[in-house]
Amino acid sequence: MNYSHTRISTFENCPLQYKYRYIERPTVTLGVTIEVFMGRRVHETLEDLYRDLGMTRLPELEALLDYYRAGWEKHWDENIRVIRKEYTPDDYREKGRRCIEDYYRRYYPFDQGRTIGIEERVRVPLGSDRVLTGFIDRLDRVGEGIYEIHDYKTSSHLPTQEEIDRDRQLALYQMDIQNRWRDVKEVILVWHYLVFDRELRSTRTPRDQEELLAEINKVIDQIEAATEYEPRESSLCDWCDFQNICPLFKHLYHVEELSPRQFKEDDGVKLADRYAALLDEEHSLKVKKERLKRDLIDFCLFSGYEVIYGTDRKIKLKKTRGFHFPGAKDKRRKELEELLRQTGLWDELSSLNLKKLEKVLRRGTLPDELREQLKPFYSEEESFRLYGCTTRIYPQG
Ligand code: SF4
């Protein structure tokens, strides 16, 4: 089975997006976002620069920027989505232009190494019949047996060195480079965070690679075992191509098309508004009840009463003394558990955590034999819960 790094991370970020992108492949999707569009234009411009350099031609900065502008105009399409409404397409175009200019000035005259591959295809066997394929933006040879894998990034997030040292994609591509030539002594991973005019580097040991292979295969095990693909809401949702068909956003897309009158009459809107009003009422009742509880306790303590008589109910005050133990996140919790184990009290005091068992079952990583043994003890039932949370409010609502 063939995997790309994007495919694997899509599953990790949102299983439902994975299902749409790689299994169902719906034809109606939202258009490309401006960030992706700008990234493509910058990539193709740097690709052009290195192709020219390969032909011993060193283009002027202005010529390169003309290439970028021409590519932008040629591929521009009104359906390209601008998610951050405070910025215009021109802002993004300028941002991309600055990325190229900064890059050009930083590396001119581009003699840091000999480029041996642009958009270089890689193929990494992962074990069993699994293969990871992808493309390296640029592959350079910078000395005897020393290779550099270069990756251009136009993202607005600058990762820390720790994040870069954990990055998987280039580390996987490195495995292919090591297999290609006998002279490979060292492979350096290089990221160009163009928006920040920053270069970040990292290297990987054989042990890092072994651990990475195990980690990637574990995720692929989950992908291959998956039968359900839950939506996983995150900050990435606004950039998702399938937001209009995702059950978490479908209704929003539906109501955005309605007139203010239709919006108010929409069954979903009416039900959600009624439910939200009840949640508010419930919350304010809880607050009132807590306040009253405190007043009653104070009243009892002050007056010495333990029972207060109302018209048709009496309220009793019951005093208890409890022990406070370290919470689940407290470091001393482990010590306490260890002590209970050593003293043989653990079995008597601990009980099966069914929530955790369910979580492990859902993850799909239990050995088949154990899964089978557990089967007679559980059944799967569908249940529903409702959560009320604030959201993007429909302008006419
Ligand atoms: S919109 Fe969000 S939750 Fe829905 S499929 Fe896309 S990434 Fe997943």
| pLDDT tens per residue across span 121-139 | 999 999 889 999 999 999 9
Whether ligand 1 lies within 6 angstroms of the CB of 16 is answered as: yes
Whether ligand 1 lies within 6 angstroms of the CB of 64 is answered as: no
* Overall average pLDDT of the 73-90 stretch: 95
**Under 8 Å CB-to-CB from 117, ≥6 apart: which residues?**
136, 138, 139
Q: What is the Cα–Cα distance from 174 to 177, expressed in whole angstroms?
A: 5
Nearest to 37 by CA among 91, 83, 76: 76
Q: What is the Cα–Cα distance from 314 to 87, expressed in whole angstroms?
A: 63
Coil vs helix vs strand at 119: strand
- Per-residue CA distances from 18 to 4, 96, 209 (Å): 12, 29, 25
Q: What amino acid is encoded at 343 in this protein?
A: T
Prediction pTM value: 0.82
Give the max Cα distance, the chain: 97
Q: Helix 89-107 vs helix 34-54: angle between axes, to the nearest 10 degrees?
A: 30
Q: What are phi and psi of 119, to 5 degrees?
A: 50, 50
The closest residue, in CA terms, to atom 7 on ligand 1 is 237
Query: What does the DSSP assignment read for 134-155?
Result: EEEEEEEEEETTEEEEEEEE--
Low-confidence winner among 19-23, 140-144, 301-305, 393-397 (lowest mean pLDDT): 393-397
Average pLDDT, the chain: 94
Distance 214 CA to ligand 1 centre (A): 27
The closest residue, in CA terms, to atom 4 on ligand 1 is 246
The CATH topology of domain 2-225 is Lambda Exonuclease; Chain A (3.90.320)
Distance 178 CA to ligand 1 centre (A): 37
Residue 96 exposed, middle or buried by CB count within 10 Å (0-12, 13-18, 19+): buried
Closest ligand 1 atom to 231 CA? 3
pLDDT at 88 over 70: yes
Distance 12 CA to ligand 1 centre (A): 12
Mutate to test the pocket of ligand 1, among 16, 245, 392 (most ligand atoms within 8 A of CB): 16
Selected residue with higher pLDDT from 328 and 3: 3
Q: Confidence band (pLDDT; 50, 70, 90) for 194?
A: very high
Whether ligand 1 lies within 6 angstroms of the CB of 231 is answered as: yes
End-to-end CA distance of the chain: 48
Closest ligand 1 atom to 16 CA? 5
Distance 237 CA to ligand 1 centre (A): 5
pLDDT at 152 over 50: yes
Distance 239 CA to ligand 1 centre (A): 9
Tokens of residue 149, six digits: 């894998």
Nearest to 153 by CA among 32, 43, 9, 239: 43
pLDDT at 394 over 80: no
